[in-house]
Chains A and B, each alone.
Chain A
């Protein structure tokens, strides 16, 4: 447990999160490892996990019938996947490990419960998710403009 707490604290997503909050979250987290080619998330699946990537690269892909999937972004160490956990949405993209990926997996239901139980923690997590979502939205908008054409 101590090790998990240390790893949680070291991830940029939890930078500057209060120590007692990190401790409080340990029960929701576990270390996971994916081999290259494994899917962390598949389109249509319920998103029930927030992944904090520690090592390796994950391709966010859109699958199109009759053609190879298109990768629209890769994420790596320090990034998070599953930011829609607050909306309990179904995944709209595939997330595929491109190599061995080491991550922390936080159970969404557990996390939401803890966030509701401690509103200060809830706000801290929600703000981090919002920031990551905003950054991803800004990048997606720029890509959508297809500026290099």
Chain B
């Protein structure tokens, strides 16, 4: 894709969709294809403003359609929120490690997402569904702030309607028009089968993931069976600048997807 890892390829936004408050999804049509693995990210560059690392949230089986879901939260992404169809961005990537979908074959898979963490997990869910017979039970547990903050709601509802997939959503607080459960995402654990030989793919706020791992461990889940996607300040995307360094690891190159036992010792180091 790239002549140099530092040079972004210009791409025009072909579709821009507002998902929830401050969150939008862009699609770039790439006729020549943009191959990526579920869990990887791209560096998106707004000309003259800056560059940010954004997970790829599209279908890996459709490389001609590159999809990113973005939250307007910083100086670059707030500018991005003002852009729309036809605007040209710089794109370089894909970078980083991927969810071990092949390693999980033959096993039950538990996907745990929190907030915008569903975006990096969407490609893995689509891959699991495209190869459904290769996996045992597939369960998606999703936690969000309120019902209005549930990402990809139409798709969640469609997934929920399938007989070969279990989807449970929980929110931190709700009014009386929400009929689902209310509480933290780990409250969903009691209602689903969790076995030590399951594969767990998890992405969400780091505090949520640490909390969830503790609850999974109480249910006998070994750390070796849990993969998480980490977030740090990624700048170069290729493990050179050091901004995303986490002890001896660079999140942009060695991550963002890590097996939990390999990253766990660093998660409680205050200075990291």
Residue positions of A touching B, CB distance < 8 A: 57, 59-60, 68-74, 76, 78, 98, 138-139, 142-143, 145-149
Contact = CB atoms under 8 A, between A and B. Distances in A.
A4 B179 CA distance: 31
A143 B175 CA distance: 16
Contacts of A147: 114-115, 204-205, 207-208
Contacts, number: 64
Contacts of A73: 182-183, 187
In the A-B complex, the 10 residue pairs with the closest CB atoms? A148-B115, A147-B205, A148-B145, A73-B183, A74-B182, A71-B182, A68-B175, A139-B184, A74-B181, A71-B174
A71 B173 contact: yes
29 contacts: A57-B181, A59-B176, A60-B182, A68-B175, A69-B175, A69-B176, A70-B173, A70-B174, A71-B173, A71-B174, A71-B175, A71-B176, A71-B178, A72-B172, A72-B182, A74-B183, A74-B187, A76-B181, A98-B179, A138-B211, A139-B186, A142-B184, A142-B208, A143-B172, A143-B184, A145-B207, A147-B208, A148-B144, A148-B208
Interface in B42-70: none
A57 B182 CA distance: 10
Chain A interface mostly: mixed
B102 interface: no
Interface in B193-235: 204-205, 207-208, 211
B190 interface: yes
B173 A139 contact: no
Contact of A142 (B144, B176, B207): B207
